[in-house]
């Protein structure tokens, strides 16, 4: 592969990484699981090591988190909030320890003392204290500057506003994780997709009174900037945090040797479902602060710490049926309806099968006993099926050659670049001929990044379609409000609100209009490029 091709491939991966980063850090709505996200980061770092001419400011080698939101004031961190390198196996841990010993010029028999602490899957925050007073609170942001979320953080009972202990430093940035306990999340899970999403959304509320309604917790585990602190190691620092009035992780341990780290890792992973908060791994830190300072940092991560990630949550269940869902681009997505199973504290009854090729490759059939994985916050998916438990009368699943919605032929496009058929099969109907495609297109048309019509949610679009009130996007602007007023759940005020929202969107930006049309391959960024170059609707048409 020549230099140009390597650079093009790298740029594609960076663009993909940026999209996933924004979904994770800004929208708190990951579109891939944590392990896949970690692999993408690792692949980029390895590419950069292999080809030294590769570099991008958005690369995980250079960036931490994502740029802060415009909704809050941006404030520089007094000490950067860095990310951690990841470990996934015992071999990774051995390499981590070997690098430390080599850097310190120590022999193999040198024993390193580690502070091992379960990694909470929440939102990082930095609390700035001066003379014992909590004066400012920041989000991680991009690691260099964060969002000023002070007033929202003040609503969390675990965060002391004033500390009077004589041994508390003159100035210090206490850092930790904001999260929601699993039992508390069950009470509000109708509002949020998952605990991390709930914590992030609550901290980004403009009104602290709304944040106060959410049962947020805070666990402290490290510090950033400090002045006047006289503590020698991480273990003692955690003890002082407790004395100062902060909550710390009850599962913290001091451990020597990678074998013992692995033993502790397996014990915690077994207890994972019993722990009343989401954890996604264990962080190991060299306990001695002097050694930490000697080891220093590489790129945007410390040499003296690593995050040992857990394997994704999984469980086995029976596939009751395989249903086909149809998206706005006509894509047919198979979904396994499974016997409900609790995976990682969440009851799962659906698992994606991705596409036709995936079903064929894994030979997935109705009535099979399947291994289901729920990793992070993405849709659960089928990993494999147990062939030993398959019945004699089992039949291969036949993917529909006709659209289940409109009966049109289903096709696979030929990719001129790969010289292969696409993995996804699609309904061949055009425009709004297919009912399922049409409904999904209208949902997209009114979505936040498109026309952003408040009051026209997904369920309402489906209801209006079934009542023949909306069949095409333009029908939105000539709705019969007299009919709507007689529907259950609709009153005068909700009618006024919907009218106002629709009228407000009769004029929108050119780029939003292009995006709203839902043309395949035309996302928001491409819509912006088209709008910038064509300049007018006349040229576009």
| DSSP 8-state class, residue 311 | P
Please, what are the averages of pLDDT over each run of 10 residues along the chain (541 residues)?
78 81 62 65 80 79 59 88 88 94 92 95 94 94 90 94 93 96 81 77 85 92 93 96 95 95 91 84 96 88 92 83 95 95 78 91 94 74 90 94 96 86 92 96 95 94 96 95 90 93 94 94 92 94 91
| Annotated active-site residue in 12, 49, 101, 119 | 119
Tell me the C-alpha distance between 144 and 67, whole Å: 9
Q: How much is the pLDDT for 217?
A: 95
The predicted pLDDT at position 201 comes to 83
Nearest by Cα to 397 from 427, 432, 361: 361
Give CA–CA dist 33/87, Å, rounded.
16
- pLDDT attached to residue 246: 96
Residue 446 has phi, psi (to 5 degrees) of -95, 0
Whether residue 117 contacts residue 221, with contact meaning beta carbons closer than 8 Å, is answered with yes
Q: Which residues on neighbouring strands pair with residue 76, listed in sequence order?
A: 145
3-state secondary structure of 195: helix
- CA separation for the pair 349, 247 (Å, rounded): 36
Rounded distance, CA 416 to CA 426, Å? 17
What residues form DSSP beta bridges with 370? 317, 385
Tokens of 458: 């997904």
Edge to edge, what strands does the sheet with 85-87 contain?
Answer: 85-87, 305-309, 279-286, 113-120, 253-256
Would you say 325 and 336 are in contact if contact means Cβ atoms under 8 Å apart? Answer: no
pLDDT at 378: 64
Rounded to whole angstroms, the maximal C-alpha distance in the chain is: 83
Indicate if 119 belongs to the active site.
yes
Sign of CA dihedral 194, 200, 206, 212: positive
Tell me what pLDDT residue 33 has.
Answer: 57
DSSP 46-108: HHHHH-TT---TTSTTT--S-PPPTTS-EEE-SS-----EEE-SHHHHHHHHHHHHHHHT--T
Tell me phi and psi for residue 332, to 5 degrees: -95, 115
- Report pLDDT for 9: 83
pTM to 2 decimal places: 0.55
Residues 205-222: tens digit of each pLDDT: 888 888 888 899 999 999
**459: burial class by Cβ within 10 Å (0-12, 13-18, 19+)?**
exposed
Strand-pair category, 332-343 with 301-302: unpaired
Q: How far apart are CA 453 and CA 455, in angstroms?
A: 6
CA distance 257 to 111: 7
* Confidence (pLDDT) at 48: 81
**Rounded CA gap, 303 and 296, in Å?**
6
């Amino acid at each position: 592969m020549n230099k140009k091709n390597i650079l093009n491939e790298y740029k594609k991966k960076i663009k993909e990484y940026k999209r996933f980063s924004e979904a994770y850090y800004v929208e708190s709505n990951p579109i891939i699981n944590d392990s896949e996200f970690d692999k993408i980061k690792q692949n980029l770092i390895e590419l950069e090591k292999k080809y030294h001419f590769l570099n991008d400011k958005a690369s995980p080698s250079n960036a931490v988190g994502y740029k802060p939101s415009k909704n809050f004031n941006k404030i520089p961190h007094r000490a950067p909030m860095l990310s951690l390198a990841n470990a996934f196996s015992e071999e990774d841990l051995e390499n981590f320890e070997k690098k430390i010993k080599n850097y310190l010029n120590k022999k193999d028999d040198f024993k390193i003392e580690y502070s091992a602490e379960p990694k909470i899957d929440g939102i990082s925050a930095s609390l700035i204290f001066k003379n014992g007073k909590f004066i400012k609170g920041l989000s991680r942001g991009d690691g260099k500057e964060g969002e000023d979320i002070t007033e929202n953080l003040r609503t969390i009972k675990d965060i002391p506003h004033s500390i009077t202990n004589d041994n508390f430093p003159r100035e210090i940035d206490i850092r930790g994780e904001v999260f929601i306990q699993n039992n508390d999340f069950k009470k509000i899970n109708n509002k949020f997709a998952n605990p991390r999403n709930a914590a992030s959304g609550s901290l980004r509320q403009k009104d602290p009174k709304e944040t106060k309604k959410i049962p947020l917790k805070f666990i402290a585990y490290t510090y950033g900037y400090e002045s006047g602190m006289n503590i020698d190691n991480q273990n003692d620092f955690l003890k002082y945090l407790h004395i100062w009035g902060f909550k710390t992780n009850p599962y913290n341990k001091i451990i020597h040797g990678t074998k013992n780290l692995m033993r502790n890792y397996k014990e915690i992973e077994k207890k994972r479902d019993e722990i009343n908060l989401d954890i996604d791994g264990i962080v190991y830190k060299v306990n001695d602060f002097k050694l930490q300072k000697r080891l220093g940092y590489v790129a945007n991560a410390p040499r003296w710490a690593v995050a040992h990630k857990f394997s994704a949550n999984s469980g086995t269940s029976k596939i009751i049926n395989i249903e086909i869902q149809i998206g706005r681009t006509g894509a047919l997505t198979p979904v396994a309806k499974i016997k409900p199973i609790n995976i990682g504290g969440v009851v799962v009854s659906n698992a994606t099968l991705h596409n036709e090729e995936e079903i064929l490759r894994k030979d997935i059939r109705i009535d099979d006993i399947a291994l289901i994985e729920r990793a992070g916050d993405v849709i659960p998916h089928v990993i494999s099926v147990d062939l030993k438990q398959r019945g004699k009368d089992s039949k291969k699943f036949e993917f529909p050659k006709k659209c289940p919605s409109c009966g049109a032929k289903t096709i696979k496009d030929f990719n001129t670049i790969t010289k292969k058929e696409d993995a996804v099969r699609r309904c061949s109907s055009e425009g709004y001929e297919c009912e399922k495609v049409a409904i999904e297109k209208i949902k997209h048309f009114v979505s936040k990044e498109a026309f952003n019509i408040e009051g026209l949610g997904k369920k309402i679009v489906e209801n209006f379609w079934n009542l023949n009130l909306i069949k095409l996007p333009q029908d939105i602007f000539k709705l019969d409000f007299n009919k709507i007023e007689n529907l259950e759940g609709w009153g005068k005020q909700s009618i006024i609100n919907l009218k106002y929202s629709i009228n407000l969107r009769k004029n929108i930006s050119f780029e939003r209009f292009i995006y709203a049309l839902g043309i395949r391959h035309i996302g928001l960024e491409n819509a912006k490029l088209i709008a910038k170059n064509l300049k007018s609707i006349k040229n576009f048409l």
